[in-house]
Structure 1
Amino acid sequence: MAERFDSQKRLVCMRKHSFVACRMQYHSRCIYTSHSPRRKVIVITIATLGQRLSRLLTYDFCPWANQWVYWMKRPIASLSLAAVAALTCAVFVKPLALVAFGAVVLVVLLGYLWPAIAVRGLTCGLRFPQRRITEGESAVALVTIINRWPWPVWGIAIEGGFGGKFSAADNSSSNHGSVALARVPGWSTSEFQWEFVPICRGEYPLVPPTLVTGFPFGLRKASRPVTVQQTVLAWPRLIPLETLLDAAETRPSDDLFSDQRVGDSGDMSGTRLFRDGDSLRRVHWAQTARQGRMIVCERQAAAQSAIRVVFDSAPHLHRGISGEGTLEWSIRIAASVCAAYHRENASVECCFGHETIPLRSGSNGMKTFLDTLAKWKPCDNEHDPHGRSVRHGDGSRSEMSVVRHEAHCDHEHASHQCRRIHHRNCGVFQLTITTDLGLEHRTEHRHVHGDQRLIVLNTAAFAESCAICGEEHRPPNRLSIVLDRPDDVVSDFRRKWRQVCHAG
């Protein structure tokens, strides 16, 4: 009986405790629910007030006076004011202030003279063990510094030329990263190495690098040129393509066919059942209706197919900066298509700007082609060749003088040759890579004597007015490949390329 009474007592206590816990949980939930909207409002209000206070403290109330007060941001301005104040106190208050005046003058002289003295005794050489890499791969840079002074040198860095993770790969010297180095002992030869990842194609270093130092106070930077002993080429990234366009579109070279091989060109050699991946262009509809199954035609194989790949190189037709711009993606897509057809022993020709590059057979031909793409730089003209104003990415417009065919070009040729290219084979199938702006305003390779298919990188001109003429342009036909996902161009291009290759 006692054991039974104790067990019933424990059961009553457990129920009472569970009931109390449930009520406490219910009350806490009610309190949290009743106060959570109020807390959210308080947090949002504090964040809004913080943003307004930040804008108020950083707002430029007197922009016209910036040219008169910006000099005060430099350290030399503060030191000059301190020297004037110390000299004034020494003249009118107490001569002991001359000690402070002398200290300030010594700091200024040491900060201006010591960097030039230190860098004058240094000799720097830069080389890359690797000759060729691809975008996104790491490259090793080796730097050798010879110090002819008996004292060590601190605070040195190499600036310019590295457009990897340090900066964007453009040619402005202010956007190229710097690499800080450790102490260089006196009367010694030191070697440093580091890895960087180029985010864009090019020949690195992109600009001549310099060895700089601002030690000890950073009042002045003294520089010395770096001797580049060996450069490295960053090839454009290649997108793997599993399938190619139907060979019936790429016209055979010299009408050469093989009776021993089955392909997609020439005379029909027979029929067979449909297989996954076959193009709908090859379906024999009469046999399909007669037998109730998909039947495709087999034709002779071309001895060698021919294709020309063209991409627009005019900067005013592209948008974006660095390695994520439409120009760089056009180069990557063109290189990927050329590499895919080159592996199939096709006759490939790539055209851009004023250049026409026929790809030679073998690995050396592909290597030479990728080297040319890595070294190529577009003409330095951002305006429309018809003299119209161009709207930049930030929405601003710049009025250009009316220039027909006199656009500035840095290449060693006449400017009109950028848009007048004569091909050896004008009846070959052409794959053109352009942007939505280039559909209406491009001047390169507009006249096509053979079949053509377009790959269009969308810069939002289909949804709003054009940045060049201000008008709305209609999208391309259904046979074109329109890439409208800038955040994932690779998967978008591979998916739509596969659909076009299979569906025809």
Structure 2
Amino acid sequence: MLTTDFCPWANRFVYWLKEPIGWFVLATAISVIVGLYLSPIGWVLAASLSAIMVVGMAWPLVAVSVTRCELRPETNCVHEGDACRMLVSVRNRLPIPVWGLSVEGYLDCEGDEAVPTVGLACVPPMCVSDFGITVNPTLRGHYPIQSPSVACSFPFGIWTARRKLSTTKSLTVWPKVYPVQGVCPIIGLTSTDHGDGNRGGRSGDFVGVRDYRRGDSAKHINWVASARVDTLVVTERGGPQSVELDVFVDTAISRSASTTLSEEEQSESVGRERLANRIRMAASVLINLHQTGVPMRVTIGPQSLSLPHGAKGRQQILNALTEIPADGIVAPIQRKRISKHARIEFATDPPGCEVVQVIDPRGGRRAGGRSVTKQIVSSGALAQQIGDFWTEVRDADVAA
């Protein structure tokens, strides 16, 4: 009953009453009427209310006009949940201190009605003062989303004067990255200088010997072993293998059918949390693969990435995942699949559950390929699920 707007058409006529100054204006007008027609005491009340309104409006307007505020983070990039300090620099051009200033919207979240506000106790005269704000962003993105403002309602709080900050530097919040135990167990198809396992070839470490086959080079013939068995024997060598891997990350939010407005809002909240967990798992697995030197083609929604080596590649992965809005991107994934390439897909299955599918065409006992699907349980410990990611895949390979 108290949260229902029965007369939305009348809001434009009574909106000014939402501010305390509106009630003071109304009380002043009533006092004037009382002084004109009933009693002279009304003039005293009108004069007192007018004085309070002048002081209550003049000081906030002067305070925000004579100060110059800047907002910047101490660190340009942080991960979700990590503490970070925001610095507010205020320059006071008055010869007297300024009280009652506050900064609104310094770390606002998209879709949230509550605007974070921090108060500044006192700004000394004729100087520049720095104030530190410790924040813990919980969702990826670039903050603040909207332009923050400096506000003042001192001394009576009947009217608030606001002005946009003169300079604002953005804070980039990367997805949370959890450690992943083990290494990628997917089998490679080509030789490389670094990697896991051994692939037969003409270079690398000694693996064994085998019978001569047509096409083998004469320089690879092991003449000592051939003389012993009276037939041609070739030395077999092998080197590290390179995995050809395609990674797809679905950026669409999963929504469930809802009948009422409250159910729809709850569905959007659950969908945002599921998408956030999907992106955190994708970030953790991608960083793990990139650190181990696994070459891969990454597709995040409609965007395809070409990852360089080192810190630049890691930063490119995190920046691409950070650009995904809280409500996701409704766009088809550009899947350019190659049958011989292994792939990992982070997506949503038809029932609406977050899943990770690992497809290895060269895996399994008989090299017939295998597919392992892992479900991301939002209510469970996400760090534990990510930490055991490769371990569970290996167990599935052994059981195959």
TM bin, normalised by shorter chain, reads: 0.7 to 0.9
Match of 1:481 in 2: 374
CA 175–350 in structure 1, closer or farther in 2 if over 3 Å, else same:
farther
C-alpha contact (below 8 Å) 1:116/1:222 kept by paired residues: yes
Q: 2:81 aligns with which of 136, 146, 161?
A: 136
Deviations 1:141-166 (A, max 9, x none): 11111111233222211111415xxx
**Equivalences for residues 235-246 of structure 1 within 5 A:** 235-246=174-185
C-alpha contact (below 8 Å) 1:317/1:437 kept by paired residues: no
CA 205–150 in structure 1, closer or farther in 2 if over 3 Å, else same:
same
1:310 aligns with 2:255: no
C-alpha contact (below 8 Å) 2:84/2:136 kept by paired residues: yes
User: What SS does the aligned partner of 1:479 have?
Assistant: strand
Q: Distance in 2 between matches of 1:452 and 1:67?
A: 66
Higher RCO (CA-CA < 8 Å; seq separation 6+): 2
RMSD (CA atoms): 3.9
What is the one-letter code of the residue matched to 2:394? C
C-alpha contact (below 8 Å) 2:283/2:318 kept by paired residues: yes
Q: 1:256 aligns with which of 191, 211, 214?
A: 191
Measure how far apart 1:121 and its partner are. Answer: 0.9
C-alpha contact (below 8 Å) 1:137/1:197 kept by paired residues: yes
Measure how far apart 1:451 and its partner are. Answer: 4.7
**Equivalences for residues 385-464 of structure 1 within 5 A:** 418-419=331-332, 421=334, 423=336, 427-437=340-350, 451=361
What is the one-letter code of the residue matched to 1:190? S
User: What SS does the aligned partner of 2:6 have?
Assistant: helix
Measure how far apart 1:68 and its partner are. Answer: 5.2
Deviations 1:416-460 (A, max 9, x none): xx43636496742111111234879xxxxx9x998599xxxxxxx
C-alpha contact (below 8 Å) 2:191/2:199 kept by paired residues: no
CA 145–261 in structure 1, closer or farther in 2 if over 3 Å, else same:
closer
C-alpha contact (below 8 Å) 1:266/1:302 kept by paired residues: no
C-alpha contact (below 8 Å) 2:20/2:159 kept by paired residues: no
Match of 1:184 in 2: 123
Q: Distance in 1 between matches of 2:195 and 2:305?
A: 29
**Runs of at least 4 residues off by over 6 Å:** 378-382
Q: Distance in 2 between matches of 1:478 and 1:497?
A: 14
**Percent pairwise identity:** 23
Match of 2:223 in 1: none
Q: Distance in 2 between matches of 1:62 and 1:335?
A: 42
Match of 2:145 in 1: 206
Deviations 1:295-354 (A, max 9, x none): xxxx95543223222221123559664997111111111111111111221102321122
Q: 1:356 aligns with which of 304, 307, 310?
A: 304
- Normalising by structure 2, we get a TM-score of 0.72
**Equivalences for residues 63-78 of structure 1 within 5 A:** 63-65=5-7, 74-78=19-23
Q: Distance in 1 between matches of 2:384 and 2:70?
A: 41
Q: Distance in 1 between matches of 2:114 and 2:181?
A: 38
Q: In terms of mean alpha carbon deviation, does 372-381 or 184-193 score higher?
A: 372-381
Q: Distance in 1 between matches of 2:114 and 2:297?
A: 35
Unaligned runs of 5+ in 2: 209-236, 257-266, 364-369
* Greater share of helix: 1
User: What SS does the aligned partner of 2:99 have?
Assistant: coil
Match of 2:229 in 1: none
Q: Distance in 1 between matches of 2:163 and 2:271?
A: 29
CA 322–228 in structure 1, closer or farther in 2 if over 3 Å, else same:
farther
User: What SS does the aligned partner of 2:318 have?
Assistant: helix
What is the one-letter code of the residue matched to 1:306? E
What is the one-letter code of the residue matched to 2:153? G
**Equivalences for residues 321-336 of structure 1 within 5 A:** 321=269, 325-336=273-284
Q: 1:107 aligns with which of 46, 52, 58?
A: 52
C-alpha contact (below 8 Å) 1:244/1:501 kept by paired residues: no
C-alpha contact (below 8 Å) 1:160/1:208 kept by paired residues: yes
- Normalising by structure 1, we get a TM-score of 0.59
* Greater share of strand: 2
Q: Distance in 2 between matches of 1:247 and 1:352?
A: 21
Q: Which has the larger radius of gyration?
A: 1
Unaligned runs of 5+ in 1: 1-58, 164-168, 271-298, 383-417, 441-445, 454-476
Q: Distance in 1 between matches of 2:362 and 2:164?
A: 49
User: What SS does the aligned partner of 1:350 have?
Assistant: strand
Deviations 1:9-41 (A, max 9, x none): xxxxxxxxxxxxxxxxxxxxxxxxxxxxxxxxx
CA 228–61 in structure 1, closer or farther in 2 if over 3 Å, else same:
closer
Q: Distance in 2 between matches of 1:375 and 1:130?
A: 18
Match of 1:226 in 2: 165
User: What SS does the aligned partner of 1:198 have?
Assistant: coil
C-alpha contact (below 8 Å) 1:156/1:212 kept by paired residues: yes
Match of 1:10 in 2: none
User: What SS does the aligned partner of 1:211 have?
Assistant: strand
